[in-house]
Structure 1
């Protein structure tokens, strides 16, 4: 019989690992939380809307085990409240998926109040959430930051979002070097054009389905699969950056 023991590298299991997913009630975050739960991780999520939280937890608990609370990560106290609730539920932390974001457009046409909130969620909360996660992590843990291809395309009309996601790109690069000796891995996933309620009202559900079927738009589950791949590599292997794009450009 052929020996296939060295045909491929070992793929560590996610079973029994404890994970938080910020923005885990809709879109990419929800898809990641569901897949992690299905693979045996115990997950704790947050989102801003009660009905989205209820929907996400119903699905998560169909395939695995999870809990969560409603918070607004644009508020520093809510970041603290989320992690304290996660402590109570998980009893420790092995995986942090930092994902929560809100739409942000061009600087000139955005009010100061909206600008402050968008930066608070799309940039500051990434740093404060990651810091809180690292304070709870031991060797063998993983941080996955969900960024955006906007950091690469840098298209006009989205300068605030571009600023935030370009900042996350640099943050991920520096941070992975800061915590590498602790055996904590940091990876960045930059999604392209992805279907989610984030895209409403410009792209309603029926239009999103059409674009996905034409390979012009990604499904949130595509990013969950990328996250799963990043988290199931040997500890010697750091998949530090993944850019997930549509096969065909958006028309």
Structure 2
């Protein structure tokens, strides 16, 4: 894996939650390709090991840590293990999230509502709490939270529970950015729309059918590729975005324009 002068994250340590598949895996691989040492966290050991295997096969350094971001002790241990393995924590990407409670708001199950908020909101808050604590004490860092174009930017029927959780991530990001920029911790968000992951497929829908649907549903006429979303995350985490604080960058093929 190249660590030339053009690699923006050479010798930096990056933590990606939800790094076992989909967008999280793409983000982890993108950081590793630019020289970072990457820790990936999630609930499933096998998928995390696969991500690390891909990183190492390309010549990079990776670490898999099984952790549930809704559990304070596990999040604290996650940050500690990352620092112990790689010597620090420079960048964190809080990507872990779920989609539950699809349907009209009056029909959303209480358990789905609670699980959405616990994972998508409390999980991001807990992760930031421990990431910021380390970064504040060790010269600063950058955090990118993964929100969604659904919520703060766009609303559609039957996903209000999910949209509410992601709107909260956007608000949490902006507030945390103001609270901690004085500590040297720069915090932003990326809000993807439909991207080339399984989450954007409707039940029983094929990728070809999704592609046809996106031609009608998005101004660009297609889903975003995971590499395009990852590129936005890497920009916000990079030195080139040094004056970018508390932004929420929408990557959604124009759907929320």
The bucket for the TM-score relative to the shorter chain is 0.7 to 0.9
- Counterpart of 1:95? 91
- Counterpart of 2:3? none
- State the TM-score, normalized to the length of structure 2: 0.83
**Counterpart-to-counterpart distance in 1, 2:208 and 2:66:** 28
**Counterpart-to-counterpart distance in 2, 1:94 and 1:229:** 14
Q: Is the CA contact 1:21–1:44 (under 8 Å) kept in the aligned structure 2? A: yes
Q: Aligned in 2, Cα 1:209/1:24: closer, same or farther, shift over 3 Å?
A: farther
Q: Aligned in 2, Cα 1:54/1:168: closer, same or farther, shift over 3 Å?
A: same
Counterpart check, 1:175 vs 2:176:
yes
**Counterpart-to-counterpart distance in 1, 2:111 and 2:68:** 15
- Counterpart of 1:81? 77
Q: Give the CA RMSD over aligned residues.
A: 2.5
Q: 1:213-224 residue pairs with structure 2 within 5 A?
A: 215-224=221-230
Given candidates 117, 120, 123, the residue that maps to 2:115 is: 117
Q: Which range moved further: 166-175 or 118-127?
A: 166-175
Q: Is the CA contact 2:42–2:68 (under 8 Å) kept in the aligned structure 1? A: yes
Structure 1 residue 157: Cα displacement? 0.8
- State the TM-score, normalized to the length of structure 1: 0.85
- Counterpart of 1:127? 125
Gaps of 5+ in 1: 1-10
Structure 1 residue 117: Cα displacement? 1.6
- Counterpart of 1:246? 253
- The number of aligned residues is 239
Gaps of 5+ in 2: 1-5
Structure 1 residue 136: Cα displacement? 0.8
Answer 1 or 2: higher relative contact order, Cα 8 Å, separation at least 6.
1
**Counterpart-to-counterpart distance in 2, 1:109 and 1:91:** 48
Structure 1 residue 164: Cα displacement? 1.0
Q: 1:197-208 residue pairs with structure 2 within 5 A?
A: 197-200=198-201, 202=203, 203-208=205-210
SS of residue paired to 1:56: helix
User: Which deviations, in whole Å up to 9, do the C-alpha atoms of 1:157-201 show, x marking residues without a partner?
Assistant: 111111111111111111111111222211111111112132356
Q: Aligned in 2, Cα 1:183/1:234: closer, same or farther, shift over 3 Å?
A: farther
Structure 1 residue 12: Cα displacement? 8.3
- Counterpart of 2:234? 228
Q: Is the CA contact 1:48–1:70 (under 8 Å) kept in the aligned structure 2? A: yes
Q: Is the CA contact 1:21–1:97 (under 8 Å) kept in the aligned structure 2? A: yes
- Counterpart of 1:141? 141
Counterpart check, 1:56 vs 2:63:
no
**Counterpart-to-counterpart distance in 2, 1:207 and 1:77:** 43
